Amino acid sequence: MKTIQAYRFALDLTSRQERDLLAHAGAARVAHNWALAKVKAVMDQRSAERSYGVPDELLTPSLHWSLAGLRKAWNAAKPVVAPWWGEVSKEAFNTGLDALARGLRNWVDSREGARAGRPVGFPRFKSRRRTTPSVRFTTGAIRVEPDRQHVVLPRLGRLKLHESARRLARRLDNGTARIMSATVRRDGGRWHVAFCVEVERADRRPIRPQSVVGVDVGITHLAVLSTGELVPNPRHLADAQQRMRSLGRSLSRRIGPDRRTGRRPSKRWERVAARLGRAHARVANLRRDGLHKLTTRLAREHGTIVVEDLNVAGMLRNRRLARHIADAGFAEIRQQLTYKTSWNGGRLVVVDRWYPSSKTCSGCGAVKAKLALSEREYECQACGLLLDRDRNAARNLAALAAEYDTAGSGPVAARGADQKTRVRGRVALKREPGTASTGQTGTVLPRGRTTNRVLTKAH
């Protein structure tokens, strides 16, 4: 099975190498801003000519928004716009132009309704101080050195890694991996290189192929499994909040940049800003590490994993819980489980967001009309079941896996969770197109509900 996988390594750069990388990132920003200004100028000119009644065939020639069209215009103008263009790799300019082409395409698709999610705005100019330095290489000499402690990139030469690249080097030596591109980016004060690799993965099976586990994510516990296991929520952001507030107050007392007057920040402001950036990066790294360990263990051990299709964007509108929800990383858990189950030969079943997993009794199937967020224990009035509400929800999710095996489509067990729910037959589950016997992703679909109201799941 061929998959696209990323390998990310930290770099230990010299001062000269860091200056070269900043020059490449600056070249990408210059190409992006020039092309964006060109696109806007052509659009404004054609709009003005139309207002004067100029026929379409006599309008200023349009500029093609594809990467090839932007690159052609840049190559014609770069001797004048950037006479130093020969000092950096051509991939630096290609990085900025490709980012603009993708931004314009996303904007067009969003306007035409071909792109899901929130509306995408028109691309904006990149600032030298606010933009994260990044450059992507797709051609040229991109390789890992035999000592596995160095990598070679075009025009940058030999760069030292902070850690060994043996995991990637083994696949490259065995012929089961092919490097497609390399992206160098500064994140939290440290430079990283990420290799986009096409990997030939061997077919694998979970340790317990017949095991079914329901995963209910929350704030009190990061995840509650139907097996009874409680995964604690580490709350990395809350632990670092005091230090971040202290650094923020210290930063506010320094002389920072002012865009209106063109004032440059002081050295003390830059040092504190770097410390604050490293604090944020540490929280992100801790969160990423914990989520990867959890999802990898679940995907390797269980054959079927059942999760909910949570409306995380709607949940973040709750101003009292938004910080804790963002710190937990609900969306990242589902994203990682999606590809890790396919890598390990398992399957992921995604339950529709309208299914009342917390309101349904896992013992008798009775459904409560209302369940307040403060009620942490689920007490069934029909059968007398008394259980932790998150564990009850996880059991309900695990029970839906049997419906997925037997139902392809059919009646529905539940309506929306925003009103009194009536049980009507069985749950209808639909297999997403293109799934096979392994690595499947299913979706529990409700009948008769097409509303997009934003609800916050009570956990």
Catalytic residues: 216, 308, 390
CA distance 264 to 256: 7
CA distance 395 to 232: 18
**In the structure encoding, which two tokens stand for residue 119, read together?**
């509306």
CA distance 435 to 253: 56
Contact criterion met (CB below 8 Å) for 341 and 212: no
Nearest-10 Cα torsion for 288, 289, 295, 297: 180
Phi, psi at residue 417, to the nearest 5°? Answer: -85, 5
Contact criterion met (CB below 8 Å) for 426 and 406: no
Contact residues for 17 (Cβ-Cβ < 8 A; gap 6+): 156, 157, 159
**In the structure encoding, which two tokens stand for residue 449, read together?**
């509900």
In 372-436, alpha helices (H): 389-406
CA distance 78 to 192: 29
Phi, psi at residue 454, to the nearest 5°? Answer: -90, 120
Give pairs for 372-379: CB < 8 Å, separation 24+.
Answer: 372/458, 373/458, 373/459, 376/220
By DSSP bridging, strand 190-200 and strand 230-232 are: unpaired
- Closest to 354 (Cα-Cα) out of 401, 422, 275, 415: 415
Q: Which residue has the tokens 């990132």?
A: 25
Q: Which residue has the tokens 């395409």?
A: 105
Helices 67-81 and 90-112 cross at an angle (nearest 10°) of: 130
**In the structure encoding, which two tokens stand for residue 334, read together?**
């589902």
Q: What angle do CA 446, 447, 452 make, to 5 degrees?
A: 65
User: Position 457: which residue type?
Assistant: K
Nearest-10 Cα torsion for 399, 400, 405, 410: 140
**In the structure encoding, which two tokens stand for residue 319, read together?**
């101003």
**In the structure encoding, which two tokens stand for residue 346, read together?**
């398992």
